[in-house]
Structure 1
Amino acid sequence: MPGRVARLLLGALFGAFMLFLYGPTLTITILSFQGPDGGLTFPMNGVSLHWFGRLFQPQAVGDLGAAMTRTLLLAAMVTATTVVVSLAAGMAFRRRFAGSTVLFYLTVASLIVPSLLVSLGIGLMFNLMEWEPAWYSSAFGAQLTWTLPFGLLIMFAVFNRFDRSWEEAARDMGATPWQSFWHVVLPIIAPSVVGIALFGFTLSFDEFARTLLTAGSGNTLPLEILGMTTTVTTPVLYALGTVSTAVSFLVIGGALIGMRLMRKRRGI
């Protein structure tokens, strides 16, 4: 009996935590379906898709369509670069080389430097070099200082317990180093590579501090939302939150489906 009570209490505590964690998102999702005359609070004034339609219309302040496009393109660039560089670095760090320790600590150090200082430093560098900051250059580099360390740490953990005998078996059968990597190593570590891609996308998609002083005149979605909250007081922001959350879930769902298809193809 005491064990059952303890399980019930722990279950209730977990349920309360999940409600605290996802309650705001659920509230925003519900309020995004307000009627045309609805406001930002309960009770709802009708139910409609009016505010989702307003997302694609000119706003009083800002351009949500362009901001969303920039954000998705930037997230795709950051994701691809993070995956490629992390995978290459993971392979390289399997063997010691001159400067590897210094390079490792320099990479990880960007995690402990305040995000705003990273943004400020990159913005000042572009200013001193008389380069025009933009979301596709300075903001891209700033976000990589956030995503690459996570990707590298994942790759280090994966290769730390990787059985090299699989590669040796492939070499014994006449495979070249590239064939060994492509047909043996990459299929085994594919779930970790997908995880790095998800990390890169999600960290870039909602990154604010490292983009604040590096995006130039083209705002990303988080910066656009910040500007709108000071002037716009309509449920269009809730609709935007619902759409962005749906995009995140679609990306995660697509990654999970891709992993399942890869495992099915390998016969696991």
Structure 2
Amino acid sequence: MTSDRIQKYMIRFYIGMFFLYLFGPLILMGITAFNTPKFPTAIPIEELTLEWFSVLANDKEMIAGIQNSLLIGVGVIFLAVPIGLAAALLMSQVHKKVQPIYYTIVVSPLLTPGVILGISTLVFWDRLGVWMEADYDTIFYSGIFLTIVGQSTFISAYCMLIFLSRLQRFDRTQEEAALDLGATNVQVFWKILIPFLRPAIGSAAVLAFLTSFENYNTTLFTIQAESTLTTVLAGKVRLGTNPSLSALAVVIVCVTLLGAILHEVYRRKEMRKEKIAAEAAKRAADKADNAMAPV
């Protein structure tokens, strides 16, 4: 056996072990979701059952946590994405000597522990509520509102990085041409910049939602009397679990795969449209060149 063949086998072995390390726990958890033995037994499979999905659907605490997580995720999208977009646009407008300082300030929440962000958010809005003599049923003491604000402090920085990477490929001459032709700054923003940033806006929204959905450190301090999926799961793990958590994992994996498939279908559809448009433009250009060519 040659050294090249040994190297090839070792590479395949390493890749196989790597994917087993990544997907092994998910596979075992998926098996327990359909098996009758007590958690976490995956083998032997005594009988296939959907009992644990029914247990999950009837778990009011878990359902309430999922609903709050979805609500918070949507709220974070509407707050973090515009803030990230504004920060990215300002980054592209400030002087080059100021950009490193500005970048460090805006990205600093990513380097701050989530515990600090959660505590500081809670203390700040509590002091603000006391100063304004607000009642305890106002937004100053709402766990959902505080969680949205607390998570957005660092998720908006992720969104800004996505927008910055997209803006690096933006041709500023389009803005200058539109302004020279009489367009206002608002029209340039909505007619030229936003269509160009549409893929980045979608990516930032998905990233913001997923980051919010799985966040725990910041949420633990800001959610107060409410609960999210992560806080409910943490409590159940401490007190003991059952295969309904495996059923939840299967549902999340299936939803994620479905989203990835739909995104890939949409991406390929857009690529086909762009290809058709490019071919049509090329044919039109060739036709114009042929028409202008001397006989």
Instruction: Give the alignment's TM-score, normalised by structure 1.
Output: 0.84
- Of residues 94, 97, 106, the one that matches 1:96 is 94
Alpha-carbon contact 2:146-2:222 (below 8 Å) kept? yes
TM superposition shift of 1:259? 4.1
Structure 1's unaligned 5+ residue stretches are none
Distance 1:181 1:253 in 2: 31
2:243 aligned with 1:235: yes
In structure 2, the CA distance between the partners of 1:183 and 1:119, relative to structure 1 (3 Å rule), is same
Question: Which residue of the partner structure matches residue 223 of structure 1?
Answer: 231
TM superposition shift of 1:127? 3.8
SS in 1 for 2:257: helix
In structure 2, the CA distance between the partners of 1:109 and 1:184, relative to structure 1 (3 Å rule), is same
- Which residue type is aligned with residue 71 of structure 2? L
- Which residue type is aligned with residue 217 of structure 1? A
- Which residue type is aligned with residue 82 of structure 1? A
2:148 aligned with 1:148: no
Question: Which residue of the partner structure matches residue 69 of structure 2?
Answer: 71
SS in 1 for 2:201: helix
Distance 2:59 2:265 in 1: 36
Percent identity reads 25
Distance 1:201 1:254 in 2: 17
TM superposition shift of 1:208? 0.4
1:93-145 deviation per Cα after TM superposition (whole angstroms, max 9, x unaligned): 22117x87655433211111111121122223344445654342111111112
TM superposition shift of 1:234? 1.5
- Which residue type is aligned with residue 12 of structure 1? F
Distance 1:49 1:18 in 2: 28
TM superposition shift of 1:179? 3.7
Structure 2's unaligned 5+ residue stretches are 131-135, 279-295
Question: Which residue of the partner structure matches residue 288 of structure 2?
Answer: none
In structure 2, the CA distance between the partners of 1:246 and 1:73, relative to structure 1 (3 Å rule), is farther
TM superposition shift of 1:172? 4.9
In structure 2, the CA distance between the partners of 1:46 and 1:38, relative to structure 1 (3 Å rule), is farther
- Which residue type is aligned with residue 34 of structure 1? N
2:136 aligned with 1:136: no
Distance 1:225 1:199 in 2: 21
Alpha-carbon contact 1:167-1:180 (below 8 Å) kept? yes
- Which residue type is aligned with residue 121 of structure 2? I
Alpha-carbon contact 2:31-2:42 (below 8 Å) kept? no
Question: Which residue of the partner structure matches residue 252 of structure 2?
Answer: 244
SS in 2 for 1:213: helix
Question: Which residue of the partner structure matches residue 12 of structure 2?
Answer: 11
TM superposition shift of 1:188? 3.0
Distance 1:135 1:118 in 2: 14
TM superposition shift of 1:33? 1.2
Question: Which residue of the partner structure matches residue 42 of structure 2?
Answer: 42
SS in 2 for 1:139: helix
SS in 1 for 2:111: coil
Alpha-carbon contact 2:80-2:153 (below 8 Å) kept? no
TM superposition shift of 1:262? 4.5
1:22-76 deviation per Cα after TM superposition (whole angstroms, max 9, x unaligned): 22122212211123x54321223311111111112146xxx11111111111111
2:11 aligned with 1:24: no
Distance 2:218 2:154 in 1: 8
1:194-235 deviation per Cα after TM superposition (whole angstroms, max 9, x unaligned): 221221111111000010111011110000001111234320
In structure 2, the CA distance between the partners of 1:241 and 1:133, relative to structure 1 (3 Å rule), is farther
In structure 2, the CA distance between the partners of 1:212 and 1:133, relative to structure 1 (3 Å rule), is farther
Alpha-carbon contact 1:116-1:209 (below 8 Å) kept? yes
Question: Which residue of the partner structure matches residue 57 of structure 1?
Answer: 58
Alpha-carbon contact 1:133-1:139 (below 8 Å) kept? no
In structure 2, the CA distance between the partners of 1:71 and 1:254, relative to structure 1 (3 Å rule), is farther
Alpha-carbon contact 1:135-1:220 (below 8 Å) kept? no
- Which residue type is aligned with residue 119 of structure 1? G
TM superposition shift of 1:256? 4.0
- Of residues 175, 183, 205, the one that matches 1:197 is 205
SS in 2 for 1:111: helix
Deviates more, 1:38-47 or 1:193-202: 38-47
Distance 1:191 1:20 in 2: 32
TM superposition shift of 1:260? 4.3
SS in 1 for 2:110: coil
- Which residue type is aligned with residue 170 of structure 2? F
Kindly indicate which of the two structures has a greater share of residues assigned to helix: 2
Distance 1:16 1:49 in 2: 31
User: C-alpha root-mean-square deviation of aligned residues, in Å?
Assistant: 2.8
TM superposition shift of 1:7? 4.3
